[in-house]
Structures are given as C-alpha cells and as structure tokens.
Structure 1
Amino acid sequence: RETARALFGHHGDRVHSVYLPYDLPWLQRRFLRHFQPRLGVVMETEVWPNLMAACNALDVPCALVNARLSERSARRYLRLSRLARETFARFRLVAAQSAADAARLKRIGASAPVVTGNIKFDMALPAAAVALGREWRATIGARPVILAASTREGEEAPMLDAFTAHPAHDTALLVIVPRHPQRFDAVAAQVGATGLRLGRRSAAAPPSPDVAVWLGDSMGEMAAYYTVADVVLMGGTWLPFGGQNLIESCAAARPVLLGPHTYNFSEASEAALTAQAALRFETVDEAMRAAFDLLGDAPRRQAMGAAGQHFAQQHGGATARTLDLLKPLIKG
C-alpha cells in the first residue's frame, strides 16, 4: 500500500488501492457489485478462476496483459485442464510478453492471444530513487559495490561464502537486498554469523568504510540500489525460484550476472544475454569471481552497462500497444 500511495497518491479519489478478496465465488461477486468495474485488467500471472467466473457472470470484460507463462506453469495448468481452459477462455483480450508466452497461453485455453511485448521495458527509473542512489555513492566514494538484488531464501549464505573467500573482498562492499521484507532480520543474522561487519539501510545512514555488507532492508528503493551498484548478481536465479526481473538493472546501465534458473523471465533473460548486457553462471562462486573481475575491468563493465541500457530502450512500446487494445473493451 505504501508503494501504491507513492505512485498514485497525487491522483486523489480517482485511484483507490484495495485488496481483492479471497477467491471465493460469493466474495468475488460482492466485490464486483460494490465497485461495479467497467473493465478488469489482470497483470502477468495473477489469474483467479472464481474472479474470472464472477466477471463473466456480471458481464465485466477482462483482459490479461503483460502476460507470461513458463513451460513449468503451463504443465501445472494442464493438470487441471478443464478449469484452466474455462478460466483463460473468459478473457476478452490476452496480451502476451512474447510469442512463446502466447503459444503456451493458447495451449491452456486463451483465445487468440496477441504479442505486445513486456511493459516493464517502458519503465523509467524514479528520479528520487536515482538521486538517493547517487547520494549513497557520493558517501561510499570510489569503493566498488556488488549488489545481490532480490535474493531468496537459501541464496544469501553461498553469496556470503563466495564473497568472503575472494582475496579482494575487503576492497569491496556487498549490498544484499532480500526479495521479502519478513526475511530482513534472518539475513542480518546470517551476515553476523560470518563475522563480517554489517550495516543496515534502516539505520538511515549510508555504510561507513568499515562495513563489509550493507543490508538493503527497505521497500521501494530498488532503483537506488541499482544506481549505487557497479555489478548486480540477480537473486532468484541461483536456486530454482525462476528468477527476477532484470530490466530495471539493465535500464540503470548495470551489468547483470544470472544463475541457471530464469524460467519465469526466460525471454527477457535470453535477450539480455544475447545483447551482451548479462552473463550466466552455474554457481554463485563463479559469478562472484566474475563480479570481482568486472570490478577490475572498467571498459568491459561500462560496455555491458551501455548494452543493457540500449537493450531496455530497444524493447519499449508495449504500454502504448496494450492501451490501444484495451480501449475498445471499456464499457459505456
């Protein structure tokens, strides 16, 4: 809700940020009768069968936009083939991120999905967050920064081990930003167990020179962390979580190091690798060594960052294409 207020608060009563009810038929019908929407727009993968059924019964047109579907998720849907086909067939519009996503969505019941691209390529880094990241950098100075972004449970420990094992680790700052805020304290405890000096963003001060690991225990500041970083290790890719979105890091012109597990973001990941904006490694140890190598190779690091920025800009336009498709669906 804090993020929603930051993004939409200036619109006043024109935007209401509310929670969807649990996906139970009577709760969804009550929700729809109360708000009386003229159009329902579902993002990416948040598909709820009873919500779709209620919208269908009350004649609320629905669209699934920026849609993505991994092969693994498609197989899971096909285990409940009848329910999946009924649910996805109820969308008046399915706008997919890629041709592969569109094909998988059609396989599980979506009617005539179209490819519009990934809306996240149209994002602009928030100016306030970029300014904050630059403030941090001014305080840190020339000390190189390795960012472990959006890490998941089980990934921080090998990252800390790999960082500590590198002979140049005392020259760099490792910034860890866990994906889920409920894990902030647990990750802080892991850092403490290594004997490395820990700083926390929640302490409201940039890391001092004696801090080895800075914990990004804040919300809504990811662009600031990307801005202060020199190299990014993308969380969610080192264990089978399916990865995290790397577009924001590319837009910030930061080289991205990926692990083997990117199936939730396969198209964007492969495109970034092809554009030479990212590198893939099988293990955290390999990636950490590569991160330190990049810290010592400014021309290559800058070339990867520039390639990432170009890659992000080149794939823009999905938002406008999606809005053009949504306009005819709005009732009345």
Structure 2
Amino acid sequence: MSAALPLSLRAYRLATACFRPFAGLLLDKRQRRGKEDASRRPERLGIAGRPRPEGRLAWLHGASVGEAITLLPLAEKLAAEGYRILMTTGTVTSAALMAERLPAGAIHQFVPLDVPAFVRRFLTHWRPDLACFLESELWPGMIMEIKAAGIPLALVNGRMSPRSFARWSRVPGTSTALLGRFDLIAAQSEDDGRRFATLGAPRVVVTGNLKFDAPLPPADPAALQALKQAVADRPLWLAAATHDGEEALAGDVHAAHKDRFPGLLTLIVPRHPDRGAAIAGALREKGLTVALRSEGGALEARPDVYVANTVGEMGLFYRLARIVFVGKSLIGKGGQNPIEPVKLGAAVLHGPHVQNFITAYGALDAADGAVVVNSAEDLSAAVARLLADPAEVERLAGGGASAIAALSGALERTLSALLPLGARLP
C-alpha cells in the first residue's frame, strides 16, 4: 500500500517514524504544562492500560471534552447493538470527564501519538472491529495504519470548513489518498458532504449534526440548589466558554450596568479553566470584586464577578442563568456550542464568528431565537436590554428551543449508516 501513496504521505510517514525517539521529550513538555497524565503516559505510546474485552469492539475517537460528549449517545447506541466500546481522547480534562460519563463497561484510553509504531501497537492490542473518528480528526498515520489492518473506518459528524476545503484542494492527491481510505463519511450538512466528496471521499451520506442529539451536561442537584440560594434574587448573566479577551469585555459590561441593576452578578466560565487565576487578576485590576470557584470563592460574599474555572460543571451554570453569551464568537474564531444553553432554557447572545456551529447559529438567528452582537457595545446593550425585559428573555428562549428541536435526529441516521460496516463481522 505504501508504494501507492503520494509523496506527501510517504514523507509524513517517514517523518513521524523518525520522531519516535523524541516522543518522550514532547510528552515531558506537555506533562510539565499539565497536559499529560503521568500515570497513563504509556497509552500515548500505544501501550494499553487495560485488557481488550471479548466480543466486537467499536473504537470511537474525539479530540477533547466537547467531542467526547458528542460521541456519548453514539457509544450507548453501539453498546446496545452488542459492541464493546473503546473511547479515546487526547486531553486530561476529557479523560476525567469520560471516567464519570462513559456507559457501563466502556473503556477510555488516551489516543496514541500519530507515530506508525505506536499506532500499530495500539491496533494490535485492541483489534477494533469498527473505528469512528469525529468531525475533522484526520490523522494521516492513523488512517493509513487502520486501513492497512483491514478495519472498517468511518468519519462521523464530518465537518469540512471552506477554509479547510481550500487547503486540501491544493493537494488533491493527498486528500484523495486519505479520504479514499474511509469506508463512510457521515457529514453534518449538504455543504460538508459536497466538500468531502469533491476531495475524494468515495461514500458520503448527510446525517446531520450529532451535537443536536448530545446529552445535556449534568448538574449535581445539591450543588445547584446551593448556588441558587447563594444567588438569591440577584440579576445575573453568564459569559460561557469564553476565550482570551472576552472575559475583559464581560467585566466592562458589568461595570457599565452595575448601578442600573443593583446586585448584578456576572458569571464567567472560561473555555480553558487553567486561565482562571489570570482572568480574576485582570478583572480585579478593573476595580471589580471577583470570586474564583477553584479556590473556594463564595457567592455569599456577593462578588461582582464569579469565575467558575472548574471542569465538568457547565451544567450547573447553564441551569442557573437565563441570559447566556456563548464565547469564542466575538473575540476569536469559530464560536462554541450554543445547543446546551438553548436546550436548558437560556436566551443566547453570540458574536459574528460562529463557523464551527454554523448550522445551529443559522437556525437560531433565522428563527429570531438568539441575539447577534457584533461589538463590545452591542454586547453591553443586549445584556442590559434582556436584564430589563424578562418577557424578551422568554421569547428568545422559546424561539431558540423550537429551532434546535427541529434539527435533531442525526443520532439515528448516523447509527443506521454505521451498522452495515460491521454487519459482516461475527
């Protein structure tokens, strides 16, 4: 098979093979930054941390927390069809979350580095009967080794942005060689499907976006009740999944309106919790009082801003706030997932940069079920308007919920497309 590969993929395979002796240095660096679990580092080298279970095994891979959560309902459906489940991710936070939320009997492992020897070691141990990657996870070495081993391979919830399409179009031989190794690509939209097919994918079906069928983030009832009691009747809004720069804007919104809305509380849940202390410091420099959840900061002390820089608690804050700005959309590019806050009854605000969830935001905006804010001034005005008008919050929340409900069903369509890939297996 290697002789038929284009020069680019042969060069990639050679480069990653040569990288093997230096893998430990990379993992050392990542471990110092808190990005590797020291006790499970061998998994990144393809050394299994668990025995392979008996029976048919489906391997599902998503990059991090959001992707793994998206795959959970599919994991449950495949388990009900008789598959054992192996879930791989690449981050410490996703591993911690999967330990709590994977279906009974499922196994989590860290995905091996994309080095031929590591991937072969991983595949030799686990011998998956079906491999499913999520969205845009196109690791060339892994794809080549999976197909060399004769394992059915699918890309589910497939997403191909116009920008990525333009890049892949410049190397048509490479794109055809990679995408041609997928037995199935289940695309999120007609546009995604056309892009994959144009780039050489032999079998593409449009199944919709699995995120519309993803489970809601859980919330501990006792913790939620404690937060509600601490908040009492304070007016509040939430800046969720924020990226660098958006927290400062949230602080400016608070400062602009705290006199008009006495007791105003601004909640911030950063996309990367390790930035919590820096966010709190910057907001304090603006003269705001800040409580940091990771340090036991108490809402009872009535801070101006509460920074919830913890992992796995988004469900608490989406249930607490009725006004939610979804981040990486005003500063940054791509936007974060608006589906969860909408399903939990929030009125959503978002910036113009929402390419990563274009279908969801398009449906919300078309149904007048969200508010687009194109600037810091827009955000400030929209927050003030919604704080002053509970009826408008209810109208937006209702319109958003209807728009999102109409887009569900991708889970069953994806499962129907996947099952024939393993039908020949005993």
TM range (shorter): over 0.9
3-state SS, counterpart of residue 109 of structure 2: coil
Q: RMSD between aligned alpha carbons?
A: 1.9
Q: Matches of residues 26-45 of structure 1 in structure 2 within 5 Å?
A: 26-45=117-136
Q: What corresponds to 2:356 in structure 1?
A: 264
Moved more, 53-62 or 65-74: 65-74
3-state SS, counterpart of residue 128 of structure 1: coil
Q: What corresponds to 2:333 in structure 1?
A: 241
Q: What corresponds to 1:95 in structure 2?
A: 186
Letter in 1 for 2:108: S
CA apart distance, 1:112: 3.2
**Structure 2 Cα separation of the partners of residues 136 and 271 of structure 1:** 32
CA apart distance, 1:316: 1.6
Q: What corresponds to 1:104 in structure 2?
A: 195
Q: What corresponds to 2:292 in structure 1?
A: 200
Q: What corresponds to 1:6 in structure 2?
A: 100
Letter in 1 for 2:147: N
Q: Matches of residues 67-86 of structure 1 in structure 2 within 5 Å?
A: 67-86=158-177
CA apart distance, 1:130: 6.5
Moved more, 207-216 or 49-58: 207-216
Decide whether aligned partners of structure 1 residues 135 and 96 sit closer, same or farther in structure 2, where only a CA change above 3 A counts.
Answer: farther
Q: Which runs of 5+ in 1 are unaligned?
A: none
Q: What corresponds to 1:276 in structure 2?
A: 368
Q: Which one of 364, 370, 377 corresponds to residue 285 of structure 1?
A: 377
**Structure 2 Cα separation of the partners of residues 99 and 161 of structure 1:** 40
8 Å contact from structure 1 (residues 131, 224) kept in 2:
no
Letter in 2 for 1:227: R
CA apart distance, 1:249: 1.0
Decide whether aligned partners of structure 1 residues 228 and 257 sit closer, same or farther in structure 2, where only a CA change above 3 A counts.
Answer: same
Letter in 2 for 1:194: K
Decide whether aligned partners of structure 1 residues 271 and 211 sit closer, same or farther in structure 2, where only a CA change above 3 A counts.
Answer: same
Which has the greater radius of gyration? 2
How many pairs does the alignment contain? 329
> Does residue 140 of the first structure (1) align with residue 231 of the second (2)?
yes
Q: Matches of residues 302-317 of structure 1 in structure 2 within 5 Å?
A: 302-317=394-409
8 Å contact from structure 2 (residues 158, 187) kept in 1:
yes
Q: Which one of 161, 166, 172 corresponds to residue 252 of structure 2?
A: 161
Identical aligned residues as a percent: 35
CA apart distance, 1:169: 5.6
Superposed CA offset, 1:230-254 (max 9, x none): 2111100012321111110111110
Decide whether aligned partners of structure 1 residues 130 and 284 sit closer, same or farther in structure 2, where only a CA change above 3 A counts.
Answer: farther
**Structure 2 Cα separation of the partners of residues 38 and 103 of structure 1:** 28
Identify which of structures 1 and 2 has the higher relative contact order when contacts are C-alpha pairs closer than 8 Å and 6+ apart: 1
Q: Which one of 147, 151, 164 corresponds to residue 242 of structure 2?
A: 151
> Does residue 223 of the first structure (1) align with residue 315 of the second (2)?
yes
> Does residue 64 of the first structure (1) align with residue 155 of the second (2)?
yes
TM-score with structure 1 length normalisation? 0.93
Letter in 1 for 2:407: H
Q: What corresponds to 1:214 in structure 2?
A: 306
CA apart distance, 1:133: 3.5
**Structure 2 Cα separation of the partners of residues 111 and 131 of structure 1:** 51
Letter in 1 for 2:98: A
Q: What corresponds to 2:388 in structure 1?
A: 296
